Amino acid sequence: MAPPGKGRLAIPMKTALAELLHHPLVWRGDQLAASLDTISTGFADLDSELPGGGWPKGALTELLRDGEGIGEMRLLLPALERLAQADEWIFLVAPPHLPYPPAFAAAGIDPEKMIVVGAAEEKHRWWAAEQVLRANSAGALLFWPQLVNDQRLRRLQLAAQEGATPGFVFANTARAGQPSPSPLRIRLDVTGRQLRIDIFKRRGGMMAKPLLLDVAVVSSHAENGRVTRASGSARTQLERIPAKRPPSFHRQYPVGTSRKIWNRALARADEVARVPGPDPREGSSSRPSNARAL
């Protein structure tokens, strides 16, 4: 004989448990987590494999690859375009090569919305990346550290949560076997002419098999999901552009240190010299007549 009251409590408890398990804030380990704030990657197949259907905001995404220029930047271009068109700033901290503004412009990203931050020492690069995420004024952070450890990544993850900013950290695949606080970790490789994407850590079940994507798509429009392709010359210049000359830095932030911040997109990377206008100083000899306007 059942104890008094047991039969009356069984049904309400089952109902309450079912409601709890279906609550949108409860994540079950065998399902993709429902993220409250994401930005579409621009690739429908990839969106379907990511919690919330896109790159998570307020979190770190690790992109691990063994070689540069395999398509990792083109993978991010559709999302970066959406952010730039929404008047958001895109920060590149310690990129390995000089970005080429005309190629980003061809992908629909205004180069004036891109800020490149450089620092001589590794600790200063991590400091700059953390400040970008905490500032709550950036649309996205792209960061290329030389040395990665769990403690630094944890600080960066907390900063991303605090600033509600998506952060993308580029590293080599040797880190795949090491623990990381980043909620999303992806291993990238090339298979033929496609980018092989292996999501080996996410808030959800394991992927059945790696995803193959054609990342030649460099422009997308969020309002209708339509994508367009840029010219081949522009696509090839997006990846692995070596710096042929040292850029002009401006010692303006932080003040009094060797750390520097500058907007390379405004540094006339196309080498087009502006024609100087009339000298307002009326014949002053302090500037040669053939000097370039800066």
Per-residue pLDDT tens digits of the chain, which is 294 residues long:
555 555 555 556 677 777 766 665 565 555 555 556 899 999 999 999 999 899 999 999 999 999 888 999 999 999 999 999 999 999 999 999 888 899 899 989 999 999 999 888 999 999 999 999 998 889 999 999 999 989 999 999 999 999 999 999 999 999 999 989 999 999 999 998 899 999 999 987 778 889 999 987 544 333 333 333 333 333 333 333 333 333 333 333 333 333 344 444 434 333 433 444 454 445 444 444 343 332
The answer to whether residues 165 and 136 touch, using CB atoms and an 8 Å cutoff, is yes
Tokens matching residue 27: 């994540």
Per-residue pLDDT at 155: 96
Per-residue pLDDT at 49: 92
Per-residue pLDDT at 85: 92
**String of DSSP letters for the chain:** -PPTTHHHHHHHHHHHHHHHHT-TT---TTS----SSEE--S-HHHHTTSGGGSEETTSEEEEE-SSTTSSHHHHHHHHHHHHHHTT-EEEEES-SS---HHHHHHTT--GGGEEEEE-SSHHHHHHHHHHHHHTT-EEEEEE--SS--HHHHHHHHHHHHHHT--EEEEE-GGGGGS--S-SEEEEEEEETTEEEEEEEE-SSSPPSS-EEE-TT--EE-TTT--EE---HHHHHHTS----SS-------SSTTSS-EEE-GGGS-TT-PPPPP---TTSS-TTS-TTPPP-
Q: What is the torsional sign of CA 114, 116, 122, 127?
A: negative
Per-residue pLDDT at 219: 40
Residue ranges per structural domain of the chain = 31-266
Query: What pTM value is reported for the model?
Result: 0.67
CATH topology of domain 31-266: Rossmann fold (3.40.50)
The CA–CA distances, whole Å, from 150 to 11, 59, 219, 241 equal 46, 15, 34, 30
Looking at this protein, which amino acid is placed at residue 27? W
Per-residue pLDDT at 6: 53
Per-residue pLDDT at 121: 93
User: Could you tell me which of 183, 191, 182, 192 has the C-alpha nearest to residue 209?
Assistant: 191
The answer to whether residues 37 and 204 touch, using CB atoms and an 8 Å cutoff, is no
